[in-house]
Amino acid sequence: MAIRFPPAHEASPEGLLAIGGDLSVDTLTEAYLNGIFPWPISKTSPLTWFSPDPRGVLYTDEVHYSRSFERFLKKHKYEIKFNFDFKAVIDNCALTKRKHEAGTWITQEIINGYIRLFEAGKAYCVGIYNGDQIVGGLYGVCFGGIISGESMFHTESNASKLCVYSVMEKLKAQNIPFLDTQMVTPIIESFGGVEIDRDTYLEELSKLRRITLTRADIFNS
C-alpha cells in the first residue's frame, strides 16, 4: 500500500516534506504524481522526501545546444541505447564522484527501489556505448507525461550531454513540455534549464498526469 504524503506545498524552505517510509513501486508512484521525490541525506539517516521550491526544469521548446556540441553530434560514433541495462546505468551513477558531495545519495535502497520501478515500466534509462563499454548514462522516471532525470554519469567527454540530448529529442517527438531535473546543474543550465516556483510546477504537473503515454511510447529505442 502506498504511503500518503502531506501536500507538497507544506515542505520546509529547504524542500523537505517527509521522513521515513519505503521505496515500493506504489509509494514512488504516489510521490512523483504529487511532485515529491526521495533524496536520502546519508546512508545512515532515515529516508527523506523533498519537493523543492524552486524546481529545476528543462523545457523542450527552449532547449539549446552549443556550437561545439552540435559539431560533436555530427561526428560522434557512440551507440545510444534506451532501457538496455538499467542496473548498469544506476550503479555507475551511484559510483560517480561529484564536486561538493562527500558521498552519494544513491544508496542500495534507492538502487533496489528504482530497479523495481523500472521493472514495472515506470522508470527508464539511456546508455551511451563505445563498442561494448558503457561510457555514459542517465536514468529517470516516466509516469505518462511526467518525465524526470534523476542522475547521470559519464566516463568520456560529452557522453552525459548526449544522454540529455537523446532524452529531450524523445520528449519533443511526443510533445511533452519539459524534463523535470529537480535542480539546475551546470550541464542542465548549459542546455537552457531554468528554475520555476513550486506552485507553477504543481500546476503543470496536474496537466501532465492526464497524458497516458507509456514508457514504450516515449522511449522506443
Please report the pLDDT score of residue 45 as a whole number: 86
Q: Residue 201, SS3?
A: helix
Q: Give the rounded percent of residues in the chain with a pLDDT score beyond 70.
A: 95
| Residue 138 β-bridge partners | 126, 152
Please report the pLDDT score of residue 100 as a whole number: 47
**Sheet with 194-196: strands ordered across:** 178-182, 55-59, 194-196
Please report the pLDDT score of residue 23 as a whole number: 96
Strands, DSSP E only, in the chain?
Answer: 16-19, 37-38, 48-50, 55-59, 79-82, 123-130, 133-143, 146-147, 151-154, 178-182, 194-196
Please report the pLDDT score of residue 221 as a whole number: 57
- Backbone torsion region of residue 35, taken as left when φ is above 0, otherwise alpha when ψ lies between -120 and 50, otherwise beta: left
Q: Residue range 17-30: average pLDDT?
A: 96
Q: Residue range 114-138: average pLDDT?
A: 98
| Residue 146 β-bridge partners | 143
pLDDT of 169 over the 70 cut: yes
Listed in sequence order, the residues at least 6 apart from 169 whose beta carbon sits closer than 8 Å to its beta carbon are none
Q: Residue range 109-125: average pLDDT?
A: 98
Whether 219 and 82 have beta carbons less than 8 Å apart is answered as yes
Render pLDDT for 83-100 as a digit per residue (tens, 0 to 9).
999 999 999 999 987 554
Please report the pLDDT score of residue 44 as a whole number: 83
Please report the pLDDT score of residue 1 as a whole number: 63
Mean pLDDT rounded to a whole number for the chain: 94
Render pLDDT for 182-215 as a digit per residue (tens, 0 to 9).
999 999 999 999 999 999 999 999 999 999 999 9
Least confident of 53-62, 94-103, 156-165: 94-103
